[in-house]
Amino acid sequence: MTIKGKAYIAGIYEHPTRHAPDKSTAQLHAEVAKGAIEDAGLTKADIDGYFCAGDAPGGAWPMVDYLGLKVRHIDSTDTGGCSYLIHLGHAAEAIAAGKCSIALITLAGKPRTGPMPPRAAGAEADFEAAYGATTHNAYGMCAMRHMHDYGTTSEQLAWIKVAASHHAQYNPHAMLKEVVTVEDVLNSPMISDPLHRMDCCVVTDGGGALVVTTPEIAKSLNKPLVRLIGQGEAMKGPRGGKDLDLTYSAGVWSGPRAFEEAGVTPKDIKYASIYDSFTITVLMQIEDLGFCKKGEGGKFVADGNLISGVGKLPFNTDGGGLCSNHPVNRGGMTKIIEAVRQLRGQAHPKVQVKNCDLTVAHGTGGLLGVRHAASTCILERV
Amino acid sequence: MSEARKYPAPLTNPETKPFWDAATQGKFMIKRCTACGEPHYFPRSICPFCFSDKTVWEEASGEALIYTFSLMRKSPSGPYAIAYVTLREGPSLQTNIVDCDIDSLKIGQKVKVVFKPTDGAPLPFFTPV
């Protein structure tokens, strides 16, 4: 049993807003849903499966009611920023099993202009919550150990932001459109050693949505054909303090599972969407997915190697979370959307990868190197 | 900064109460599984390795090495050092490194446990030896 080729992405929509003081979170979900359904050339009545995560106000049942859906399959798996990369795999499984035929996946929220829903405490809370762990310092601790073990430098991390900014200059909706240099990154204020402000992603209101369907329905629509040919997911944690190693992520397991199912290797990939909550997130994921050996990520990302048209691995050509959009502090959705744009040939001409027929969209959710999930999706143009 | 900072009282629960009771005596406890021999932290009743329920409390040495750290510069209560330390007994855990010049911390540095008061049970932190 495989999901290879069983599900096609027929509709995509990224909300153009980055600041939405005049909208509600549920409204943003509805707007991105409408956008993706219209992009697919379908109607709301066609949707028979719905997927959402912790950003959906109240979870799946209030959202299904608010949107006015009638569905026969639901999935509200929440694994933070990679939830939507996991939803895509689960939607393909549901479609392959006949549980639904047209699935809608939505993400939306407004961390800039509204309260964020509280995160439920895990069993570890009494033993960790008092120490002031934030995403910034948790990822900072990963970067610190990676530098210690492998000699990775702040200059190398800065190249990831530089590449993202080269792409963002062509995205009219990007929050940060200015091209920056390695020196700009190193001169930006230190937030949590060794991560500077420019090593961090933007915080944006907004969202995105996908419509996923069967091969038959996809072929009946007037759209370029993009299908999922492999997906892997995994989780990692310190497990009683014995397995703590902050230099690798669950991507070391999700990646090989996805590549094996797809029957391709990292060398075959033309474009990569890689979750970029911080620069270190990208560097570790590139290693974990096998684009280079563990510890050599710093060398790999340097000197513009991630810039489209310049380097060997064009990444996040929309400007990514580092420059364009990171709706609700959850980057998985926009990773899929830009990978689909590349496969459709609908990326900005300045960053469109030539003959882009095979991409990876990958991300983690939770705290990198500590308790987190990862999902890797291999997407192909037919 | 650590003296000025107000720490929240741990809520505790039936599974972890012995840890906090020991903390009030200045003892830092870990759990060890008598079936597979593995120590773990934070404490569970069922071993996260072999899933045996034969876990027992054990007083740890309180000695550890810094595995990694980060200096949080942007904080309303002032900069602080968050870290993972690896106990001499094996398990690694999250903590703050306190009562020191945080700018001179190094990976691999020796630290030891120190308890700080809260409105409830005291909380374990680590400080350079």
Which residue among B49, B71, B92 sits closest to A192, beta carbon to beta carbon? B71
Which residue among B8, B40, B86 sits closest to A240, beta carbon to beta carbon? B40
What mean pLDDT value characterizes chain B? 94
pLDDT of the residue at B1: 43
Interchain pair B92, A246: CB under 8 A: no
Has residue A369 got a pLDDT over 80? no
Q: What is the mean pLDDT of residues A275-294?
A: 98
Report pLDDT digits (tens) over A344-359.
999 999 999 999 999 9
Q: Does A120 touch chain B (CB under 8 A)?
A: no
Interchain pair B91, A240: CB under 8 A: yes
Q: Which residue has the higher pLDDT, B85 or B11?
A: B85
Would you say B58 and B29 are in contact if contact means Cβ atoms under 8 Å apart? yes
Using DSSP, state whether A311 is helix, strand or coil: coil
Give me the sign of the Cα torsion angle A258, A320, A139, B116.
negative
Mutation target vs A (from B41, B70, B92; most A CBs, 10 A cutoff): B70
Interchain pair B48, A142: CB under 8 A: no
* The pair of three-digit structure tokens given for residue B84, joined into one six-digit string: 């993972």
pLDDT of the residue at A212: 98
Indicate the residue type of A75: D
Question: CA nearest B6 in A: which residue?
Answer: A130
Strands A73-75 and A49-51, by their bridges, are: parallel
What's the number of CA atoms in the CB half-sphere (13 Å) around residue A237?
A: 12
What gap in Å lies between CA A254 and CA A257, rounded to an integer?
5
Report pLDDT digits (tens) over B47-63.
999 999 999 999 999 99
Interchain pair A137, B95: CB under 8 A: no
What gap in Å lies between CA A8 and CA A215, rounded to an integer?
6
Give me the sign of the Cα torsion angle A299, A244, A367, B117.
negative
Has residue A145 got a pLDDT over 50? yes
Q: Which letter does DSSP use for residue A314 in this model? A: -
- Helix (H) or strand (E) holding A116, with range, is none
**Three-state secondary structure readout of chain B:** CCCCCCCCCCCCCCCCHHHHHHHCCCCCEEEEECCCCCEECCCCCCCCCCCCCCEEEEECCCEEEEEEEEEECCCCCCCEEEEEEEECCCCEEEEEECCCCHHHCCCCCEEEEEEECCCCCCEEEEEEC
Q: Which letter does DSSP use for residue A301 in this model? A: H
- Residue A216, number of CB atoms within 10 A of its CB: 9
Mutation target vs A (from B29, B71, B94, B118; most A CBs, 10 A cutoff): B94
Interchain pair A242, B49: CB under 8 A: yes
Interchain pair B73, A242: CB under 8 A: no
Shortest distance between the Cα of A149 and any Cα of chain B, in A, equals: 10
pLDDT of the residue at B2: 43
pLDDT confidence bin for A117, thresholds 50/70/90: confident
Which residue among B38, B72, B94 sits closest to A128, beta carbon to beta carbon? B94
pLDDT confidence bin for B4, thresholds 50/70/90: low
Identify the weakest region by mean pLDDT among A23-32, A115-124, A126-135, B79-88.
A115-124
Has residue A119 got a pLDDT over 80? no
Which residues in A lie closer than 8 A to residue B93 (C-beta atoms)? Answer: 127, 241
Report pLDDT digits (tens) over A183-239.
999 999 999 999 999 999 999 999 999 999 999 999 999 899 999 999 999 999 999
Mutation target vs A (from B16, B69, B72; most A CBs, 10 A cutoff): B72
Report pLDDT digits (tens) over B91-104.
999 999 999 999 99
pLDDT of the residue at A120: 78
The owner of tokens 């497990």 is A239
pLDDT confidence bin for A360, thresholds 50/70/90: very high
Question: CA nearest A144 in B: which residue?
Answer: B68
Mutation target vs A (from B20, B52, B73, B80; most A CBs, 10 A cutoff): B73
Residues of chain A above pLDDT 90, percent: 95
Q: What is the mean pLDDT of residues A278-307?
A: 98
* pTM of structure: 0.97
What gap in Å lies between CA A253 and CA B52, rounded to an integer?
27
Report pLDDT digits (tens) over A43-91.
999 999 999 999 999 999 999 999 999 999 999 999 999 999 999 999 9
Give me the sign of the Cα torsion angle A188, A109, A360, A178.
negative
Identify the weakest region by mean pLDDT among A107-121, A162-176, A286-300, B19-33.
A107-121
Torsion of CA B11, A134, B66, B26, to 10 degrees: -20
Q: Which letter does DSSP use for residue A222 in this model? A: S
Q: What is the mean pLDDT of residues B114-127?
A: 96
What gap in Å lies between CA A103 and CA A96, rounded to an integer?
12
What mean pLDDT value characterizes chain A? 97
The pair phi, psi for residue B122, each rounded to 5°, is -70, 150
